[in-house]
Amino acid sequence: MMEGQSVLDLIRRRTSVRTYDPRPVEPEKLDKLKAFMSAVENPFGAAVRLELVEGASGRLGTYGFIRGAKTFFGGCVKKSGMDLEGFGYAFEQVVLYATALGLGTCWLGGTFKRSAFAERLRPVDEYLPAVSPVGYASDKKSLTEKVVAAGAGARMRKRFGEVFFDGAPDKPLVPDNGALTTCLEMVRIGPSASNKQPWRVIVKDGAIHFYALIDRRYAGNTMYGFTMQRIDMGIAACHFELSARELGLPGGFVVDDPHLISDEQAAEGWRYCFSWR
């Protein structure tokens, strides 16, 4: 629960907002965001630092993708083995908490001026993977927002059996009415860079194994010095664990490769990430 609201409902309600109303966010809500960000954790041991950044979108530099925003939050992380997964997990928790406060957000991994945000966040032995505006959504969407959303197929998601598998990558998992299906559905509807939805999950012998299908030709994985789709896996982990906790599904994340994919699938870009058991 966040602010007395179901995490499942927040995940379903969350949407990317690129055009903002000029109404400022109330100081009480900003204080709540700051407190939440200072306490947020992740299960991968990543040293993540999240902070609010005040300043109009034009001055901070979002290349016209964000209109009207006056407040952002950004995050820095120290390099480690699971840094990006931990970053995605922590950052998405703040996104969901902002949703609980009635505020809009939008993940920005590439369409912002890193140097401008770095001046505010001052990374030390850290790097800056993503930022987000935070504020009240405007009733009117800008032309840029409409074009971006249409181009990415913003609300379109792969079918359940395309991303979740029963024991092996060639056997689609059949959904049922159980808690596991609900948790996986919360993964399926999550946001991802350019809506590529890289998560692939194999359920076997009571364990849930998470893989990323990395697109080596995707610019987001090559332009910024890190693999952006690893952040998406952190988002998937966040949605899964928060949903599991709410529904009483036992377990926790471990990194222990079960070696369920073939050399051919590895060549296609499948990469083991972590397991829940």
Q: What is the pTM of this model?
A: 0.94
pLDDT at 150 over 60: no
Query: What tokens does 269 get?
Result: 């870009």
Tell me: the pLDDT tens digits for 158-185?
Answer: 999 999 999 999 999 999 999 999 999 9
A 10 A CB-CB count for 170 gives 9
Tell me: the pLDDT tens digits for 223-263?
Answer: 999 999 999 999 999 999 999 999 999 999 999 999 999 99
DSSP E strand boundaries for the chain: 48-54, 71-77, 104-105, 127-135, 164-166, 199-204, 207-213, 253-254, 270-276
Tell me: the pLDDT tens digits for 58-96?
Answer: 667 787 889 999 999 999 999 999 999 999 999 999 999
Instruction: Give the domains, in start order, of the chain with CATH numbers.
Output: 7-146 (3.40.109.10), 157-276 (3.40.109.10)
**Separation of alpha carbons 79 and 196, rounded Å:** 24
Instruction: Check residue 140 and give its pLDDT.
Output: 79
Q: Of 209, 186, 194, which Cα lies nearest the Cα of 277?
A: 209
User: In terms of DSSP H, where are the helices of 40-109?
Assistant: 57-60, 83-100
